[in-house]
Chains A and B, each alone.
Chain A
Amino acid sequence: MDAVLIDQSQGNFTYPEDYALDAGRGLGPKTVDYISEVKGEDSWIREFRHRALDIFESKPMPTHWASDDLNAIKFQDIRYYLSKGKGGPSRSWDDVPDDVKRTFERLGIPERERGFLAGVEAQFDSEAAYSNIKEEFDKLGVIFVNSSEGLSKHPEIFRKWFGKVIPTGDNKFSALNSAVFSGGSFIYVPPGVKVKHPLQAYFRINAEQFGQFERTLIIVDEGAEVMYMEGCTAPKFETATLHSAVVELVAMPHAKIQYITVQNWSSNVFNLVTKRGLAHEGAEIRWIDCNIGSRLTMKYPGVIMKGRKARGEVISIALANTGQHQDTGAKMIHAADETTSNIVSKSISIGEGRSTYRGQVHIPRHLKGCKNNTECDALLINSQSRTDTYPAITVRGNRHATQHEASVSQVSEDQIFYMRQRGLTEAAAMSLSVNGFVNDLVREFPMEYSVELKRLIDLEMEDSVG
């Protein structure tokens, strides 16, 4: 099968920076004006950005419940907008600037597009360099463009939902994103249209001390279906890089959305992302979230089940190696009768890597027939690793069913010794244990991604034994 190369070592390259558009370092009202100006935005969106900046500045860093490591982010040193400035994204790879094209070719994106994808968007720093959807889906009225284009060309749909699932003030980083967002996808699937192949977005950070703030909005109309996958890489710089996205999903009645992430940022990236979906009656939203890279990830995908019989699911795999903290989880807000949510989280901590699960399940008293299932399993490989689980399940009333299971298991030196005695290298022994641990979840991924995931785990294990 075609190699899909998005491991960190493969992503660890960079081309010389030459940006026509650069907002400079630091954050202030001028930064916001610069971005809004460059994009030629309407005044309402510029005001939206300014309000967001105020909220960002008024909110404290969430170090009191999360990690002190957040203090290492120097907001005044970061560059908030970098773009080659050649108008909108190209529809053909031939029109993409050479160095950007080479970047995505090295990451295997055009090859994959020819293979199994319905459409691709490739973002390079602040803007999409390439965006295309296959004709058959275009004809059915499926919209797949970058967020700026969504905003300018489809304001009637965009404005209706933008910032509605995740309000600006949801948290400090959703406010930051709302102030300086650029790039990300806008997707609309018309009623009844089932997009059989996945749509893929790829986010690439190329510049040092840069912040990427993409904004994605996906609206799937009644009875329609879509699968969206995102991947990401960055070169390994000495300095901290920031990635702070906001992703909003809207599933209209009986729609289905599957959102798959394979996060493989280099270990200098702070990955602070807010993701949430709104599921109407009989709709289903599934987050399949896999975090392998980054220095610190804080991400808790959520589903608000607003309509009767809506379903929400979060399936998550987190792998924390030495120098990494994966602080991940899920939020399930039940807001209608007979809604069902399912959370399955598996984390692996290796060496001094740290993983944390935070879950929030909310079922209010006035509803009936709601169900939640939460499973959190942690695997520790060697004794210095740390794992924490904070499952907050609030169920009021007596007409609901909830179930919670948690486990911690350990791969001991003795187990590794046993496997090595049968001829497996230390890395292979660890990979086998880890793959065994996540195997049932990996099956939920499309084939192309599960193969890639297994390979990424193998590579991580090789790195961890040096």
Chain B
Amino acid sequence: MDCLEIKELTVAIHGQRILDGLSLVVPKGEVHAIMGPNGSGKSTLAKVMAGHEDYEVISGQILMDGQDLLSMSVDERSRSGFFLAFQYPYEIPGVTNANFLREAVRARLGTGEDIDAVAFYKRLYGLMDELGIDRKFTGRSVNEGFSGGEKKRNEILQMAVLEPVYAVLDETDSGLDIDALRVVAEGVNRMRSPHRGFLLITHYQRLLNYIEPDYIHVLAGGKIVKTGGKELALELEETGYDWIKEDAALAPA
């Protein structure tokens, strides 16, 4: 029950199958990583979990602590504790970071409740300081004119403010220099807890030097083809993905 469970998930876009009977379990308290070659369906998995409408779920289930995620709307999933850090965070002109976060927090309150503005800002500034985000960013439009690294840090800030139960981080390491990577990783590590599960999606082993996963899964051909400990990442780094593709092709359908 206390896990994010993907069961036999098959997904298509424009009639083309991207995920093909994928199964995966991320229990609370653990950090899992999905690695795989480009085009293997990693980002599709992230977007389907969040509820993006472009993708057609042909069969399978996603259960979050037993709740049927696929029957919930995009925003219900979020309010129930699911978070996706986007690979390419969108810019929202005219909407300030502070307003955006405040509305997101407010969306989680019951009717008649409201935010304690003083406490909210105190907490927000504390988290921004930890992530090395200038406090002036509260007044800037969400992601507008942000550098790649700033956008990624902003995703981690949003995650920290919203305190999800399960978080999926889609290629959060891409486009980050080593200092930014360290800051982002520290942000994630601070949030590790027995009450929270993480799924990191990454192409490179690099991120996993900073956020140490409990398990690594290799995604190829729309399903998990191999699962192992953190040493699997090093193996992949040395040998590349070609052997995986060959294995996947040879595997019985």
A residues neighboring B (CB under 8 Å): 409, 412-415, 417-426, 428, 432-433, 436-437, 439
Q: A432-B99, A433-B95 are in contact. Are A422 and B78 (CB under 8 A)?
A: yes
Q: Quick one: which of A415, A421, A436 contacts B99, CB cutoff 8 A?
A: A436
A426 to chain B, nearest CB (A): 7
Q: Determine if B103 is an interface residue (Cβ-Cβ < 8 Å).
A: yes
Residues of B contacting A432 with CB < 8 Å? 92, 95, 99-100, 103
Contact B92 A423 (CB under 8 A): no
Contact B90 A422 (CB under 8 A): no
Contact A414 B74 (CB under 8 A): no
Q: List 13 A-B contacts (CB under 8 A).
A: A420-B51, A420-B75, A420-B78, A421-B51, A422-B78, A424-B104, A428-B103, A428-B107, A432-B92, A432-B99, A433-B94, A436-B92, A436-B93
Q: Quick one: which of B89, B94, B96, B107 contacts A423, CB cutoff 8 A?
A: B107
> Complex formed: what's the CA distance from A432 to B99 in Å?
8
Q: A420-B74, A423-B104, A425-B107 are in contact. Are A437 and B79 (CB under 8 A)?
A: no
CB closest residue in chain B, given A412: B90
A240 to chain B, nearest CB (A): 35
Q: A415-B90, A426-B75, A432-B100 are in contact. Are A421 and B95 (CB under 8 A)?
A: no
> Complex formed: what's the CA distance from A433 to B96 in Å?
10
Given contacts A418-B92, A419-B92, A422-B158, 9 further A-B contacts (CB under 8 A): A412-B90, A418-B86, A419-B100, A422-B78, A422-B107, A423-B79, A424-B103, A426-B75, A436-B96
B residues neighboring A (CB under 8 Å): 50-53, 73-75, 77-79, 83-84, 86, 89-96, 99-100, 103-104, 107-108, 141, 158, 162
Contact A418 B89 (CB under 8 A): yes
Contact B107 A409 (CB under 8 A): no
Q: A428-B103, A432-B99 are in contact. Are A421 and B94 (CB under 8 A)?
A: no
Q: A422-B158, A432-B103 are in contact. Are A415 and B92 (CB under 8 A)?
A: yes
| 9 pairs of A and B residues whose beta carbons are closest in the complex | A436-B94, A436-B95, A423-B78, A420-B74, A423-B107, A422-B104, A418-B90, A420-B75, A423-B79
Most buried by A among B51, B52, B94, B99: B94
Contact A433 B78 (CB under 8 A): no
Contact B75 A425 (CB under 8 A): yes
Residues of A contacting B158 with CB < 8 Å? 422
CB closest residue in chain B, given A426: B75
CB closest residue in chain B, given A410: B93
Contact B92 A433 (CB under 8 A): yes
Contact B100 A439 (CB under 8 A): no
Most buried by A among B53, B77, B86, B93: B93
B224 to chain A, nearest CB (A): 24
> Complex formed: what's the CA distance from A437 to B78 in Å?
25
> Complex formed: what's the CA distance from A30 to B164 in Å?
72
Residues of A contacting B104 with CB < 8 Å? 422-424
Contact B94 A439 (CB under 8 A): yes
> Complex formed: what's the CA distance from A289 to B94 in Å?
21
Q: A420-B74, A424-B104, A432-B99 are in contact. Are A437 and B50 (CB under 8 A)?
A: no
> Complex formed: what's the CA distance from A432 to B98 in Å?
12
Residues of A contacting B52 with CB < 8 Å? 417
> Complex formed: what's the CA distance from A420 to B95 in Å?
14
Contact A437 B89 (CB under 8 A): no
